[in-house]
Structure 1
């Protein structure tokens, strides 16, 4: 796989936002507060909604229902996709083949098969496709990651997530609202902290008797990672009282100590037997390229990394072929819960690859998918491109 195209200009990145609903309006506020970005267009099937969102903020931008048309009229250089997840594949594919890199709200697609199709579309078009996995973007999370480097080999990572939100709407009707709509954040953070990928999952779900959700709102999932580390997620979306942070509550247990993070404040670390003079962040190799580190939280941090990637060519942490592992953790957990047995994530990927090849309708994307030979071939390409 070749790298994505860089935007070679020092001027603010000209972007079109697709989706003018509640989340779209939140993105409008973040874009307005980001000098490195200029909003030049707003797209939504509901034109009155889009015009109202622009008017409420005093924005004079091109408004329309077609991504390609608005981008062409406005001279856009990139797209931010904030549509509902079932629309992500169509919107992202259209934008990529219009020559526009895309920052897409999570999940990148509803299924791993669609995500692999999008990865192939990004390769075929030569454009960057990145997911906004917003909860990676907490500066204190980078501090926790550095602290973990002092603990030696990691044996166990746990997340407790207990909240009681009354959303109403589609979440109340989902089969697995906690796993599908929320747990991906914690799953993605576990990958970030461990710098490793999951290999299997054993998950069980249930719905407490008092739950206001139709589907299972509580879950326990145990993932095995490369190297044998176990990651356990335990949570409920109908657990009133003593609620955790939206980031959950974390413990990391290693051979030389442990770390705790309440999801909001600074982590607490106890490295047993560590000389005072050596206490500090993990040492970086002098030859290693410095990692990109968020300075703004949540979607603002995702936007900053997207702009940085397009300026420098540095592969962002949410690049589609990396992010597909987080989506596979969700899909594997759901499959395990429904079958009442452990699931190997290799099987999730290969089933998804076959479905992607069988269902692809664009000949150019089909050719890329077939060139991989397997999902493993696609994911090896990610490592070669990084």
Structure 2
């Protein structure tokens, strides 16, 4: 689909894609398949990579190595931020200041303080910023969620995540690759499944002797949620053999019984000593495509997406709190994480003379965005 391709939808939105690596190309394919979207530009620090990605898809669009320049030169109704995490804040901030809504790959930023800043900027400018928590969207997790509601709501939720990717690149060098780059998916899924928000965590992370990562690639964590429920996470990114789904392998106990989900399409439920039921999983939009649908619906004036920055920041805070707990060996309260992050963001806003950001942060009084 080129820039001049005919689109049948009444509303046609021009999309700038920032980041032309593996995930950037995956997002470009989602754009390619979606009527009502038109590629406007591709941005990457390596313009040859951007040009190759565009050419592979027959996109006759300009390429840039600078986001601000791209937004000045190319029409944009939304921007897909598919850069490395360290670049997320700068790219999203540039787009928001240009009044361009942003759908970003996770995490929104590497730190809660940066996410607080972006959330305040988004709220002050009235420009939507959302994170694509694509693993919240699947037919399997929807069926599992319905099962937990039917059982009266889970009070004990567990997931095991064991995979063995050989990524190479920045993930191999990260201090906490599993927690920072992957666990946010399962943490976000837990918030959705429990219908509650996390209050505290105790976590230990470590490196098995055979790990090929520089940082800790395995972790165990227990979260307490505001409704009294507990969520246990056990994971590894260096587990050869008997790997789980990329969504993890889940079990929940509730007042009316228990349910399991294999992370794909097998959802089981049992009430007390009754028969085990295999629940139907109804096909629906999943992954990136579902996250994009949710975002576009919000641009049309409907409900804010589940990954909207003020909501999604709680999933990021779970990661930051887990990393802190592992480093200190102590339980960490998420209120303390937000208080410190808010103070850092507020000090930065005052130092930069960003009154509209400072005003928003002050309204939240050291707590998460609201």
TM-score using structure 2 length: 0.91
- Which of residues 292, 295, 300 is equivalent to 1:311? 300
CA distance in 2 between partners of 1:24 and 1:160 (Å): 28
- Residue of structure 1 in register with 2:262 after alignment: 262
- Equivalent residue number for residue 287 of structure 2: 298
Query: Where in structure 2 are there 5+ consecutive unaligned residues?
Result: 1-8
Q: Which has the higher contact order (CA 8 A, sep 6+)?
A: 1
**Residue 355 of structure 1: aligned partner:** 344
Q: Is the 8 A contact 2:19 2:43 kept in 1?
A: yes
Structure 1 stretch displaced more, 52-61 or 240-249: 52-61
1:369 to partner: Cα distance: 3.8
Quote the offset at 1:154 in angstroms.
2.3
Deviates more, 1:297-306 or 1:341-350: 297-306
Are the aligned partners of 2:81 and 2:91 in contact in 1 as well (CA < 8 Å)?
yes
CA RMSD of superposed structures (Å): 2.2
Match of 2:138 in 1: 138
Task: Give, in angstroms, the shift of residue 67 of structure 1.
Answer: 2.7
**Residue 25 of structure 2 aligns with which residue?**
25
Aligned residue-pair number: 358
> Paired residue for 2:365?
374
User: When the two structures are superposed, what TM-score results if normalisation uses the length of structure 1?
Assistant: 0.88
Tell me by how many angstroms 1:69 deviates.
3.4
Counterparts of 1:169 and 1:211, CA distance in 2: 15
Q: Which residue of 2 aligns with 1:67?
A: 67
User: Where do residues 204-353 of structure 1 align in structure 2 (5 Å cutoff)?
Assistant: 204-272=204-272, 295-353=284-342
Tell me how far apart the structure 1 counterparts of residues 357 and 297 of structure 2 sit (CA, whole Å): 30
Partner Cα distance (1:83, 1:364) in 2: 28
Q: Distance in 1 between matches of 2:343 and 2:358?
A: 14
Report SS of the residue matched to 2:146.
Answer: helix
Measured after TM superposition, the shift of residue 16 of structure 1 is: 0.7
Shift of 1:268: 0.7
Indicate the residue corresponding to 1:36 in structure 2: 36
SS at structure 2 position matched to 1:41:
strand
Counterpart Cα distance in 2 of 1:321 and 1:57? 34
Q: Which runs of 5+ in 1 are unaligned?
A: 1-8, 282-292, 382-386
Deviation of 1:303 after TM superposition, in Å, equals: 1.0
SS for the counterpart of 1:242 is: coil
Relative to structure 1, is the Cα distance of residues 193 and 294 closer, same or farther in structure 2, using a 3 angstrom cutoff? farther
